[in-house]
């Protein structure tokens, strides 16, 4: 029988990171700037580890391998098999983030043996002057973009 799972956070220092995540994680003082806290991850080398309960110290990929569709549901398991498809994280950006380009599933699978990176953001808190940019700040031709 599964129970609500809590995972140990994976803290990621970033040059653009801030100090806010240090309030959530007492052991975070070892970092100057924490940009991300990965809450749920099956990314190789940064797999989430269960905190507490009889499943403590098991990684997320290990859980999917054992519990299969009982953990992720029939539809998700049918599509992704033993590969957990989500990365859930909290971001604390004290400065501009780097420009990011994310491949779709097909290209990421061919080049990196992983899923593409589709993003959804839910903003928990921000300063009054904060903003999010998506796309370009002016109309751009394909030729300009490829130049």
| Alpha-carbon span 79 to 9, nearest angstrom | 27
Residue 42's SS3 state is strand
Instruction: Identify the pLDDT of residue 104.
Output: 80
Query: CATH for 10-146, among 2.40.30.70, 2.60.40.10, 2.60.120.10, 2.70.150.10?
Result: 2.60.120.10
Rg for the chain, CA atoms, rounded: 18
Tokens of residue 69, six digits: 């569709």
CA 38 to chain centre: 6
| Strand-pair partners of 113 | none
| Alpha-carbon span 67 to 127, nearest angstrom | 42
In tens digits, the chain (147 residues) has pLDDT values of 689 999 999 999 999 999 999 999 988 889 999 999 999 999 999 999 999 999 999 999 999 999 989 999 999 999 999 999 999 999 999 998 877 777 888 888 888 777 777 778 888 999 999 888 777 778 889 898 887
End-to-end CA distance of the chain: give it in Å, rounded: 56
Per the document, the length of the chain is 147
């Amino acid at each position: 029988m599964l129970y609500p799972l809590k995972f140990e956070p994976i803290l990621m220092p970033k040059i653009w990171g801030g100090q806010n995540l240090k309030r959530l994680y007492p052991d975070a003082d070892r970092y100057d700037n924490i940009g991300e806290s990965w809450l749920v991850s099956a990314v190789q080398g940064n797999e989430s580890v269960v905190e507490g309960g009889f499943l403590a110290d098991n990684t997320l990929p290990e859980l999917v391998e054992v519990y299969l569709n009982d953990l992720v549901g029939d539809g998700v398991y049918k599509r992704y098999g033993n590969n957990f498809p989500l990365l859930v994280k909290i971001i604390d950006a004290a400065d501009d983030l780097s420009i990011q380009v994310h491949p779709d599933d097909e290209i990421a699978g061919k080049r990196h043996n992983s899923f593409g990176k589709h993003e959804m953001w839910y903003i928990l808190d921000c300063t009054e002057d904060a903003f999010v940019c998506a796309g370009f700040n002016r109309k751009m031709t394909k030729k300009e973009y490829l130049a």
